[in-house]
Structure 1
Amino acid sequence: MSTHEDHHPAHAPVPQAGAPTVPADESAELLDLLHRLLRDVRRAAVGAVGPGAQAPGQVRMLRVLQHCDGPLRLGQVATALDVAPRSVTSKVDTAEADGLVRRVADPTDRRATLIELTEAGRALLDDVSARRHEGVAGRLDRLDADERAQLLALLRRLTDPPATA
C-alpha cells in the first residue's frame, strides 16, 4: 500500500550530477540494434568463406595474428583475445587443420611453440574483409547520401571520447 509520502517529490530519487539523461530503453535499443547489425554483417561475411565457414571467434584470432609483428605464443593470443589459453588451443587446432595457421618452434625457447598466419589465412581474412565491406555497403545503400553523412557524423560523435570539464 502506498502513502502520499511515497509520491511526494521529496521522496523521488535525486539524479546524480553527470548521470545520463537518456532513457534506459533508448540505450538498450541502440545497443541491441548495433549488436544485431554487426552480428549480421559478421555472420554473413564469415559464413560465406573458408574451408569450414569459420566462426567469428576464429576470425578474431586470425586477425590478432595478422596485426602482430611476427608469430605469437598461445598465451599472447589468449591475452589479446581476453580468453583462457585452452580455448585458443582448440581455435589454433582448427585453424591449423584448415591450413590457416602453422605452429613453429620458438627460437628463444625450445619448449615453446609459436603460431603464425599462413598465406591461406591472410587470403581468408582479405575475403572476410571484402564481404564485410559488401555487407555494410549493401545496408548503407538503403540510405541516401544525406542520411549516410548524418549517420556517420552521429556515430563519430558517439565514438569520440567525452569532453572533460
Structure 2
Amino acid sequence: MLTSRATLCGVNTEAEPDASAELLELVYAILHAVRRESGPGAPGQLRFLRTLAACGCAQRPGALAEALGVAPRSVTSKVDTAESDGLVRRLPDPTDRRATLVELTPAGHALLAESAHRRHEHVAARLTRLSSAEQAELLRLLRVVAGQG
C-alpha cells in the first residue's frame, strides 16, 4: 500500500531523478504526446501499417508478426481490423495456395501519409518553443546520445 506520493514501491520518488531516468521520461512524454496528437488510428495499428509499408510489397501475416515481434494471432486481429477499415487487403500467395498475403490499399497509404504529416507538424510546433540555435543544439546533443554524432 502506498502511504504517500513520495514512496512508490519502496522507492523515494521525490529524490532528484538521475539523468537517464529523466531522459527516458521526457522522451516518452514527447512521443506519447505526438502519438496522441497525430490523429486517427491506434498506435499499434499504425505501427502495423508502417511495418507493412516498409516491406515494400505484400507480406505473409507470419512475416509481419516476426517483424513486429508479436504473436501471429495478434497480427491476424490487426489484419482483420485494417481490412474491415479498408486499409489492407488479403491476396492469395502465388507460391503457396494455402497462404495469404497482406498488402496496403490506397486508403492505407493515405492514412500513413496523413499520420506522418501530422506527426511532423506536431514535432515542428514543439520545436518552435526553441530558438534556431537551441534547436540546432538539441539535435546535436541528441545525435551524440544516439551515437550518431
Place the TM-score, normalised by the shorter chain, in its bin.
0.7 to 0.9
CA distance in 2, matches of 1:149, 1:30: 18
Cα offset, 1:161, TM superposition: 6.1
2:93 to 106, 122, 143: 106
Amino acid at match of 1:37: I
Q: Which runs of 5+ in 1 are unaligned?
A: 1-22
Aligned to 2:48: 61
Cα offset, 1:42, TM superposition: 1.1
Cα offset, 1:69, TM superposition: 3.0
Which structure 1 residue ranges, 4+ long, deviate > 3 Å from structure 2? none
2:20 to 7, 27, 30: 27
Alignment of 1:8-157 (within 5 A): 25-45=18-38, 48=39, 53-157=40-144
Amino acid at match of 1:65: L
CA distance in 1, matches of 2:70, 2:18: 31
Aligned residues: percent identity?
59
Cα offset, 1:26, TM superposition: 1.5
What RMSD in Å do the two structures reach over aligned CA positions?
A: 1.5
C-alpha distance after superposition, 1:35-56 (max 9, x if no partner) = 11011101210xx2xxxx3101
Q: Which runs of 5+ in 2 are unaligned?
A: 1-15
Alignment length, in residue pairs? Answer: 134
C-alpha distance after superposition, 1:128-154 (max 9, x if no partner) = 000000010000000000100000000
CA distance in 2, matches of 1:133, 1:68: 22
Cα offset, 1:99, TM superposition: 0.3
TM-score normalised according to structure 1 size: 0.78
CA distance in 2, matches of 1:102, 1:25: 47
CA distance in 2, matches of 1:79, 1:126: 24
